[in-house]
Amino acid sequence: MTERAEVSETAPTRPPTIRDVAREAGVSKSLVSLVFNGGENVSEERRRRVLHAAERLGYRPNLVAQSLSAGRRDFVAILVSNLHNPLFAEIVGAAKARLAEAGQRTMIVSAQVDDGGGSSVLDRDNIAVLRDLRPSGLITVGTIPGFAELADLTATIPTVVASAIDATDDVVATVRSDDHAGLDLVVAHLAEQGVERLVFVGGDGGTVSASREAAFRASVAARGFGEQAWVERADFTEAGARRAVGRLLASDRLPQAIIAVNDLTAIGVITALEAAGVSVPEGCRVAGYDDTTLSAIPRISLTSVDPDNRRIGRVAAEAMLDASADRTGVAGRIGEVLIPPSLVVRGSSLAR
């Protein structure tokens, strides 16, 4: 209750506003605004005065006020699907770096959180704030559960989807790994190793998984595997992988190699195989997808497809930049950009 009548010391007063700067510089608010927005028609002298005043006061424009006033602000929002997957961190980093090069501000927010239990749900709070902040563009990274709920955003600003297939009609571009190329790389590698019976574990749990399954089928068909290649359904979890392997073991139809939908699933496959006494790669070869840091650990040494995440991030950023530059109204729909992956061969697929 005790009002401090006098500012006793260097009291933490509230940050200086544009008005403070105007007063200090002896000009009007609008001139200050002009200076800070790169206005051309400002005399050198006044510009100097304003800049000095701002410096002295430690003034920084309030982004929230800007956003409210201008109706939109010049920054692109990067929405990461979840914090668990280090894969996405790479993409985000690369995208942000590329945008920064072009002088674009960014804001990174997460789209999902654990719901206290284990599973993830859309973080509506975050999305709401983001919407109200009126970013000038949106890049989503990874599959986002309630993508449709972003409709008011995607409909009004250029949107680029990275490393997912969430795209609705108004998405400017989707940048993702070329799953067909990736799976063909693995299949070819295994075929070269003399593998003739081949299984894909995955396919459930999302569009990416489905896409990789289709890619697998196409590749083995093209290479004439026929009945000797099939799919054992599983989601992205380790448990799913274990069940799939369990089915293979039970039916006595163990293939010579298993390709998993991603690295985590691959680990599950290896674990299940070894628990059943089948050693990897001797008893059965295994390969994954994503080339996460996991696979490089010597004890794991997992052959995996490297999607080139940094490039995905960079290209997504560039698509964003293009779309923003293209102020013709009809932002050019770039469509899908498939980034060519490469294969990283490690112990899990090589016969000793």
Partner DNA sequence: TTGAAAGCGCTAACAC
Partner DNA sequence: GTGTTAGCGCTTTCAA
The residues that touch a second copy, with contacts defined as CB under 8 A, are: 12, 15, 60, 62-65, 67-68, 75, 80, 82-86, 88-90, 92-94, 96-98, 105-110, 113-116, 123, 125-126, 128-129, 132-134, 152, 155-156, 267, 270-271, 274-275, 294, 297-300
Choice between 36 and 230, CB closer to DNA = 36
Radius of gyration over every alpha carbon of the chain, rounded to an integer in angstroms: 26
Choice between 68 and 221, CB closer to a second copy = 68
Residue 222 interaction partner, one of DNA, a second copy, none, beta carbon < 5-8 Å per kind: none
In angstroms, give the least distance from the CB of 137 to DNA. Answer: 16
In angstroms, give the least distance from the CB of 49 to DNA. Answer: 9
In angstroms, give the least distance from the CB of 86 to DNA. Answer: 36
Identify the DSSP state of 172: S
Read off the tokens for 308: 């080139």
Residue 41 interaction partner, one of a second copy, DNA, none, beta carbon < 5-8 Å per kind: DNA
Q: Give the ranges where the chain is alpha helix by DSSP (H).
A: 18-25, 29-36, 44-57, 63-70, 86-101, 124-133, 151-156, 179-192, 207-222, 238-250, 263-275, 293-296, 309-325
- Tokens 């804001």: give the residue: 107
Other Cβ atoms within 10 Å of 299 Cβ, number: 5
Using alpha carbons only, give the angle 171, 174, 179 rounded to the nearest 5 degrees.
150
Residue 300 interaction partner, one of a second copy, DNA, none, beta carbon < 5-8 Å per kind: a second copy
Q: What are phi and psi of 258, to 5 degrees?
A: -125, 130
Choice between 124 and 253, CB closer to DNA = 124
Burial bucket for residue 40 (CB in 10 Å: 0-12, 13-18, 19+): exposed
Residue 168 interaction partner, one of a second copy, DNA, none, beta carbon < 5-8 Å per kind: none
> Residue 90 corresponds to which amino acid?
E
d(CA 104, CA 268): 41
In angstroms, give the least distance from the CB of 19 to DNA. Answer: 6
Residue 115 interaction partner, one of a second copy, DNA, none, beta carbon < 5-8 Å per kind: a second copy
In angstroms, give the least distance from the CB of 67 to a second copy. Answer: 6
In angstroms, give the least distance from the CB of 331 to DNA. Answer: 20
Choice between 37 and 207, CB closer to DNA = 37
